Structure 1
Amino acid sequence: MAVEDHNGLLRLEGGGVFGEKAGHFIVMPMTELFDPPLGSILHGKLQYSDKIMLPKSFIYEVLGRKLEPPWHFEITPLDDLYTGAPSPFLAPSLAHWRRRHPVQALHASNFDFRAPENYIFMPDWMMLSLRLRPRDVVAMRFVRLPEGGLVSFQPHQAAFNKLANVHAVLEQELKYYSCVTQGTTIRFKHNGKEYALDVLETLGPKDVKVDAIKIQDSDIRTDIRPSKEEEKIRRRKPAAGASGTTAKGETTKREGIVKGRKET
């Protein structure tokens, strides 16, 4: 009821998600029941994308306001907007974690507009990044993100950096993401194997540091760092010596370019 009341007041004031104040929404995870049919570009890929399901009322807002796609939304775990106290919807342990964690918000784009009013559905990696549980409440607002300049990724698995033509794989999988947020961990599935990549840094135009960037319809540079697995192995080894290995190890960062593409 508190969520519905808050959003109702915003609508009366002529604001809401597309105004200065954020709307409040109950979060639920996407499941295989949401998977688009065969033939859709997102078939089997919803969990490996930045797509969220929004209420039907949103489509009337974006069309009525004549907003050009892509449409991006900033999602923030909700603490009390007036006192700063943890939200009554949020488990105390998660509230404590969130105060210490650098990821305070992330950004998403729309999948479709079939969610019940006051609800949104999101992939598992988003819920993990923000430490959300089903039926937690978030604040969400429409944002315009800067076009991307460079994104630095760190794979979790060493196997990712060993893929043949790793930058071609990265370009292929990033087409399911319209934007990326620094500090999050996004997920890919390639040839039946799942990979996790930390977004270490996002640079906008003229390489200015920003919290998030638009990668849809943008030519971005990508920087792939040595994986977390490789770093762990390197820390266990002695420093460079008789073996001739260097402190940097066998894998160094690799740079590439992801060409802008139109979403279909």
Structure 2
Amino acid sequence: MEFYGGYGMAYPTAPFEQNYRCYSASFIDKPHLESGDKVIMPPSALDRLASLRIDYPMLFEVHNPAASRISHCGVLEFVAEEGMIYMPYWMMQNMLLQEGDIVRVKSATLPKGTYVKLQPHTKDFLDISNPKAVLETTLRNFSCLTVGDNIMVAYNNRKYYIDIIEAKPSQAISIIETDCEVDFAPPLDYKEPEPVRPAPAPPVSTSEAAQETPEPEEPKFNAFTGTGRRLDGKPAKLSAGPISAVGASGSTSSASAKKPVGSGASGSGAPAAPAGPQRAAGKLVFGASGSNGTAKAPPPKKEEPKPEAPKEEASKFQAFTGKKYSLRG
């Protein structure tokens, strides 16, 4: 009890504190309560507050003992039924209150805020043309802000929820008639853009790879590319080169193959070969077959001088031009 001016008038110094059953604003048909943080209290609360030394504007601490949740609010009217208090539904959600739960209301004095940091739940709030102007208009309906609260901002028939993550100079501040700096944290659904990576090279198809990488050429088959050797063991005068293919009858298939010297061919200009049994050209004969099936030596003949082949023909390969030998000697 204190006395003022010597008149003996006593003013109690204890703060206002009372328990009420809370209900949302829809029970009293006052939907505008949802756009701020003010509550509606019974008339008896006004009578009690008038007899106490409290600071104006009236601010209150709202405590939910069951969930250990604390927030702060202002008062709009004193028209509620006795024992009841009506508050915005978003505030009841913050404090984990259900309709008809007991809540403790206590008068409080809060410092004027100088700084507050807000974090929208969705990045859609930042898509508003002027979010700071919308927020300033909305906060005119608020008396105080408490760190940890989630306030609701209604704009263009949409509801945006914002968390109070930091406040100065204390965890709960008054924003009535004060210049308060406002800062925004990235929205909860905001994701950092991933660094742009260079696009991988497109896969090269098999046909394109075949065009770009030439395949090694397969070796072509060349028939009879060996070196010619003589049957009598003498060294061959011709260099290695392709040999003309020989047919089944033993004669050369190439039109350029020359006939052996002394073969008796007409038109060659060479004398006829010595008389004897006729043989197929190009075949080796180791003995002639007689009438009795025994090999006989040919009668001795006087060898005639053989004309020399033209020099230009000597350098060419001639097939089967070696000497013949008899098995009997």
Aligning the two structures, in what range does the TM-score lie when normalised by the shorter sequence? 0.5 to 0.7
Could you tell me how far 1:164 is from its partner in structure 2? 1.3
CA distance in 2, matches of 1:107, 1:137: 16
The structure whose RCO (Cα within 8 Å, separation 6+) is larger is 1
CA distance in 2, matches of 1:58, 1:105: 20
1:150 aligns to 2:110 (yes or no): no
Could you tell me how far 1:184 is from its partner in structure 2? 0.7
SS of structure 1 residue aligned to 2:176: coil
Structure 1 partner of 2:17: 22
CA distance in 1, matches of 2:89, 2:71: 13
1:75 aligns to 2:35 (yes or no): no
Distance 1:125 1:118, change over 3 A: same
Q: Is residue 45–residue 176 contact of structure 1 (8 Å, CA) maintained in 2?
A: no
Q: What is the CA RMSD across the aligned residues, in angstroms?
A: 2.2
Structure 2 partner of 1:9: none
Q: Is residue 156–residue 229 contact of structure 1 (8 Å, CA) maintained in 2?
A: yes
Could you tell me how far 1:32 is from its partner in structure 2? 7.1
- How many residue pairs end up in the alignment? 188
Q: Is residue 202–residue 211 contact of structure 1 (8 Å, CA) maintained in 2?
A: yes
Q: Is residue 154–residue 224 contact of structure 1 (8 Å, CA) maintained in 2?
A: yes
Structure 2 partner of 1:167: 132
Distance 1:32 1:58, change over 3 A: closer
Q: Point out where structure 2 has 5 or more consecutive residues left out of the alignment.
A: 1-10, 199-329
Structure 2 partner of 1:215: 175
Distance 1:51 1:20, change over 3 A: closer
Q: Is residue 23–residue 85 contact of structure 2 (8 Å, CA) maintained in 1?
A: yes
Could you tell me how far 1:143 is from its partner in structure 2? 0.3
Structure 2 partner of 1:7: none
Could you tell me how far 1:60 is from its partner in structure 2? 1.9
SS of structure 2 residue aligned to 1:131: coil
CA distance in 2, matches of 1:182, 1:123: 18
Q: Is residue 161–residue 226 contact of structure 1 (8 Å, CA) maintained in 2?
A: no
Amino acid at match of 2:178: S
SS of structure 2 residue aligned to 1:228: coil
Which has a greater percent of strand?
A: 1
Look at both structures and tell me which one has the larger radius of gyration over its CA atoms. Answer: 2
Could you tell me how far 1:66 is from its partner in structure 2? 5.9
Which has a greater percent of helix?
A: 1
State the identity %.
27
Per-residue CA deviation, residues 89-121 of structure 1 (Å, 9 max, x unaligned), is xxxxxxxxx36xxxx200010010011222111
TM-score, with length taken from structure 1: 0.65
Task: Extract structure 1 runs of 4+ deviating beyond 6 A.
Answer: none
